């Protein structure tokens, strides 16, 4: 039972074990005398995984039997490499069955100590049990987003720099729809095997919702990540086959460097996700490294986004709403205004929304900001209703807000709290909302319309599905995007398109508002086309509420 180990070697093993035990921080400890393949494991490991004892001969083989069959191959290969002297250690994750018969995720880090002749002598390492099954994705055995955030928080607490990469397949639902779920699961399984192989010993892998993975690595540089991504991209898009079929997979990826510990992990994650989404939208597998992105003023975007998030957490201090008038095309009479968000900060100045909204839209904090915008816009403009009973307040609603389960209740609650009549509120949504199930979106729209709230479709004509969204639900207003208005004076295609859009909106019983009107000439042409309302610098830029009141409400 002792593999023939002599008493001197056994004493050394025990002494070394005692030494490592004293300095190790948590985790299970194992120490193997490689000459005899005789190991000592910590008693906690023996108890938690039902191992035969704390001294074991050929512990690697015993341990391998506890590992999930899908994860065994990688482990086996690694142990072989280590005993053959091809590898000096390992750093890997796998699932292990515990005494209760459930799989838990473990990270195992070990290193080989050599003797005077440079031959493998001892193998020492620790195993960290991440346990908590609710942090583990059952299909892949990777930890999920909760697990990722726990690790990120730990890195922050210890101020350990790392690189983080997000990689996945866009529009995977079409694979499931075309080929079936079983086929989809095999594709995911193959992807997972490829990821494990590519990043073995280089860090931890996580699975997020959909077919999206994260690698957290302390050994690979951003350039090296970009190289491995490229190789994976080639492997997956050109060579991945299931039953002789080659599915068309849209691979996308992004990366970011964790080095500035003043920046919140959630900010990091939002920026990484934003870069991932832009990789997906750009297509062709382009890899986006967020860390190197600067905003228009060459500020580090991460720092900006982090400061914006802090403002949200600080009761939205620093945010202001500007208002831009919307006027009746025929008479020039005020009919309402659009609330437009600004963020003011001593370091960054007055920051327009395009800089930060697209990045923090997917951040859980954005929901608070969205509600603040709605509440504040109603508070600011309610006094105008006494002068203009038909005043229409337009508020922009992003996809991430409307997809919240309680969106309808949220709007109703805020209308009630502000005492703002529902018929004076118009919510602007963009075609991006088509990402939501159309039936669900239509139900939200009609439920709120039934209490009087109006809906406008914003940036009309710029998306892929202007027609279909117009056909799926009833909009009160169609807002024609500035890019079309810009061209109307030249009289060419844009002018004809504006006329078509106007007729289309008419067909569905919607009013038409033209955005971004800058000149009298554009204004005249649009009026002739029968456009109902006009918004643009020609009348006024967005201004603060006080200025709006002075200029457009007082004189009435
Ligand atoms: P949008 O909803 O299309 O808003 C119209 C944008 O066009 C505003 O930019 C406005 O200042 C600008 N604009 C209006 N007239 C003219 C013009 O004649 N010429 C030019 N060049 N520009 C004009 P802004 O305020 O920078 O907002 C940009 C975008 O940020 C908005 O586009 C909207 O998508 C988003 N946004 C702004 N406020 C909010 C908000 O409260 N919530 C959400 N979810 N998004 C917002
Ligand atoms: Ca808008
Ligand atoms: Ca718009």
- pLDDT tens digit string along 17-43? 999 988 887 789 999 999 999 999 999
Asked whether residue 371 is domain-assigned, the answer is yes
Same domain, 332 and 206: no
- Which residue minimizes the CA distance to atom 9 of ligand 1? 340
- Report which DSSP code applies to 141: -
Residue nearest to atom 46 of ligand 1 (CA): 396
Question: Residue 462 CA: which ligand is closest?
Answer: 3
pLDDT on residue 510: 96
Residues 116 and 139 in one domain: no
CATH number, domain of 194, equals: 3.30.70.270
Does residue 175 sit in the same domain as residue 212? yes
Answer yes or no: is pLDDT of 16 > 90: yes
Q: How far is the CA of 342 from the centre of ligand 1 (A)?
A: 10
Q: Is residue 134 within 8 Å of 140, Cβ to Cβ?
A: no
pLDDT digits (tens, 9 = 90+) for 495-523: 999 999 999 999 999 999 999 999 999 99
For the residues 324-338, what does the mean pLDDT come to?
96
CATH code of 94's domain:
3.30.450.20
pLDDT score of 253? 95
Kindly state the tokens that stand for 181.
Answer: 């779920």
Residue 168 lies in a domain: yes
Ligand 1 centroid to Cα of residue 338, in Å, is 9
pLDDT per residue over 459-485, tens digit each?
A: 998 877 778 888 889 999 999 999 999
Instruction: State the pLDDT at residue 248.
Output: 86
Hey, is 112 helix, strand or coil? strand
Q: Is 457 exposed, middle or buried (0-12, 13-18, 19+ CB in 10 A)?
A: buried
420 and 460 fall within a common domain:
yes
User: Does residue 132 surpass a pLDDT of 70?
Assistant: no
Query: Cα(247) to centroid of ligand 2, in Å?
Result: 38
Same domain, 239 and 269: yes
CATH number at residue 475: 3.20.20.450
Q: How far is the CA of 530 from the centre of ligand 1 (A)?
A: 24
Q: Are residues 125 and 139 in the same domain?
A: no
Distance 479 CA to ligand 3 centre (A): 7
What per-residue confidence (pLDDT) applies to 437? Answer: 83
Note the pLDDT of residue 63: 96
In whole angstroms, give the CA distance from residue 299 to residue 296.
7
Q: Which atom of ligand 1 is nearest to the CA of 479?
A: 3
Across the range 414-424, mean pLDDT stands at: 97
At 312 the three-state DSSP class reads: helix
Q: How is residue 275 written in tokens?
A: 């870069």
Which tokens is 89 given? 């250690």
User: Does position 193 have pLDDT exceeding 80, yes or no?
Assistant: yes
Nearest to 96 by CA among 31, 158, 49, 38: 49
Q: Whose CA is nearest to atom 33 of ligand 1?
A: 396
Q: How far is the CA of 515 from the centre of ligand 3 (A)?
A: 6
Task: Classify residue 423: in a domain, yes or no.
Answer: yes
Tell whether 300 is covered by a domain. Answer: no
In a domain, 304, yes or no: no
Q: Kindly identify the ligand whose nearest atom is closest to the C-alpha of 540.
A: 1
Is residue 297 included in any domain, yes or no?
no
pLDDT at residue number 446? 96
Q: Output the pLDDT for position 255.
A: 95
Look at residues 131, 147, 163 and tell me which one is the last residue of a structural domain.
131
Residue at which a domain ends, from 115, 131, 147:
131
- To test the pocket of ligand 1, the residue of 340, 486, 488 to mutate (highest count of ligand atoms within 8 Å of its CB) is 340
Are 106 and 177 in the same domain?
Answer: no
- Nearest alpha carbon, ligand 1 atom 26: 352
| 306 inside domain | no
93 shares its domain with 239:
no
277 and 375 assigned to the same domain: no
Predicted confidence at residue 389, as pLDDT, reads 96
Q: Which neighbouring-strand residues pair with 554?
A: none
Rounded to whole angstroms, the Cα distance separating 312 from 372 reads 9
Domain containing 85: what range?
7-131
C-alpha torsion sign, points 299, 300, 304, 307:
negative
Per residue in 40-74, pLDDT tens?
Answer: 999 999 999 999 999 999 999 999 999 999 889 88
pTM for the complete prediction?
0.79
Contact (Cβ atoms closer than 8 angstroms) between residue 484 and residue 494: yes
Helix (H, G, I), strand (E, B) or coil at 377: helix
Atom of ligand 1 nearest to the CA of 322: 25
- How many CB atoms are closer than 10 A to CB 156? 16
Residues 466 and 534 both lie in one domain: yes
Residue 100: band (very low, low, confident or very high) from pLDDT cuts 50, 70, 90? confident
Percent of the chain with pLDDT over 70: 97
Neighbours of 538 (CB within 10 A): 16
Q: Do 526 and 396 fall into the same domain?
A: yes
CA nearest to 548, candidates 323, 342, 354, 246:
323
Mutate to test the pocket of ligand 1, among 351, 396, 477 (most ligand atoms within 8 A of CB): 396
Q: Rounded distance, CA 396 to CA 323, Å? A: 12
% pLDDT > 90, the chain: 64
Q: Report residues whose beta carbon is within 6 angstroms of any ligand 1 atom.
A: 324, 339-341, 352-354, 357, 373, 396, 398, 458-459, 515-518, 535-537, 542
pLDDT tens per residue, range 112-123: 999 999 889 999
Residue 44: phi, psi to the nearest 5? -65, -40
Query: Average per-residue pLDDT in the chain?
Result: 91
Output the CA torsion sign for 163, 252, 352, 149: negative
Q: Residues with beta carbon < 5 A to ion ligand 2? A: 396, 428, 458
Q: Residue 105 — pLDDT band, cuts 50, 70, 90?
A: confident
CA distances 535 to 76, 204, 446, 477, 485, Å, are: 67, 51, 26, 13, 11
User: Which pLDDT score, from 0 to 100, does residue 298 have?
Assistant: 56
> Do residues 119 and 162 share a domain?
no
Structure confidence at residue 302 (pLDDT) = 87
Measured in Å, residue 481 CA sits from the centre of ligand 2 at 9
Give yes or no for residue 133 having a pLDDT over 60.
no
- Burial-class residue 531 by CB neighbours within 10 Å (0-12, 13-18, 19+): buried
Distance CA 143, CA 104 (A): 10
CA 242 to ligand 1 center in whole angstroms:
46
What is the arithmetic mean of pLDDT over 311-317?
A: 95
Residue 299 in any domain: the answer is no
Nearest atom within ligand 1 for CA of residue 535: 15
195-236 residue pLDDT tens: 998 998 899 999 998 899 999 999 999 999 999 999 999 988
The pLDDT assigned to 7 comes to 92
What distance in angstroms lies between residue 73's CA and the mean position of ligand 1's atoms?
54
Band of pLDDT at residue 247, cut at 50, 70 and 90: confident
Count of structural domains within the chain: 3
Give residue 206's pLDDT: 95
Q: Which ligand is nearest to the CA of 398?
A: 1
- For residue 443, what pLDDT is reported? 95
Closest ligand relative to 516 C-alpha? 1
Counting DSSP H helices and E strands in the chain, the numbers are 20, 21
Q: Which residue has the higher pLDDT, 285 or 477?
A: 477
- Which of 131, 163, 190 delimits the end of a domain? 131
pLDDT of residue 319: 97
């Amino acid at each position: 039972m002792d593999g023939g180990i002599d008493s001197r070697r056994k004493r050394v093993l025990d002494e070394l074990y005692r030494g490592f035990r004293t300095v190790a921080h948590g985790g299970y400890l194992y120490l193997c005398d490689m000459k005899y393949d005789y190991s000592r494991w910590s008693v906690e490991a023996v108890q938690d995984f039902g191992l035969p004892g704390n001294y074991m001969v050929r512990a690697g083989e015993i341990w391998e039997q506890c590992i999930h069959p899908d994860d065994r191959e990688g482990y086996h290969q690694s142990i072989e490499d280590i005993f053959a002297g091809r590898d000096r250690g390992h750093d890997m994750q796998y699932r292990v069955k515990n005494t209760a018969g459930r799989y838990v995720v473990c990270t195992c880090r070990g290193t080989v100590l050599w003797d005077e002749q440079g031959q493998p002598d001892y193998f020492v390492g620790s195993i960290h049990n991440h346990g908590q099954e609710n942090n583990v994705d059952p299909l892949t055995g990777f930890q999920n987003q909760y697990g990722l955030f726990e690790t990120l928080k730990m890195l922050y607490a210890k101020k350990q720099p790392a690189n983080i990469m997000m990689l996945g397949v866009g529009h995977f639902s079409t694979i499931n729809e075309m080929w079936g779920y079983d086929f989809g699961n095999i594709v995911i399984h193959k992807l997972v095997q490829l990821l494990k192989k590519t990043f073995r010993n280089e860090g931890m892998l996580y699975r997020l919702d959909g077919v999206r993975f994260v690698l957290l690595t302390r050994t690979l540089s951003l350039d090296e990540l970009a190289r491995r991504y490229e190789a994976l991209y080639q492997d997956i898009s050109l060579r991945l086959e299931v039953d002789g079929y080659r599915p068309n997979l849209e691979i996308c990826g992004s990366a970011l460097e964790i080095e500035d510990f003043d920046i919140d992990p959630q900010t990091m994650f939002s920026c990484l996700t934003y870069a991932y989404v832009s990789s997906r939208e750009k297509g062709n597998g382009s890899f986006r490294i967020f860390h190197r992105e600067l905003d228009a003023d060459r500020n580090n975007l991460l720092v900006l986004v982090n400061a914006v998030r802090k403002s949200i957490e600080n009761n939205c201090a620093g945010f202001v709403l500007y208002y831009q008038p919307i006027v009746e095309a025929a008479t020039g009479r005020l009919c309402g205004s659009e609330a437009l968000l600004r963020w003011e900060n001593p370091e960054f100045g007055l920051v327009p929304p395009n800089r930060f909204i697209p990045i923090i839209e997917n951040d859980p904090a954005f929901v608070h900001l969205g509600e603040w915008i709605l509440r504040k816009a109603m508070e600011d403009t309610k006094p105008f209703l006494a002068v203009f009973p038909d005043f229409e307040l337009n508020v922009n609603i992003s996809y991430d807000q409307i997809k919240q389960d309680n969106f309808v209740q949220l709007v109703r609650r805020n209308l009630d709290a502000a005492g703002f009549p529902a018929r004076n509120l118009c919510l602007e949504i963009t075609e991006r909302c088509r990402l939501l199930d159309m039936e669900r979106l239509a139900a939200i729209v009609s439920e709120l319309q039934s209490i009087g709230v109006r809906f406008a479709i914003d940036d009309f004509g710029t998306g892929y599905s202007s027609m279909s969204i117009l056909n799926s639900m009833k909009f009160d207003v169609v807002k024609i995007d500035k890019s079309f208005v810009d061209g109307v004076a030249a009289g060419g295609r844009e002018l004809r398109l504006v006329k078509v859009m106007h007729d289309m909106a008419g067909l569905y019983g919607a009013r038409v508002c033209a955005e971004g009107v800058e000149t009298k000439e554009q204004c005249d042409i649009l009026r002739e086309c029968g456009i109902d309302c006009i918004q643009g610098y020609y009348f006024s830029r967005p201004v603060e509420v006080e200025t709006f009141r002075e200029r457009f409400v007082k004189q009435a």
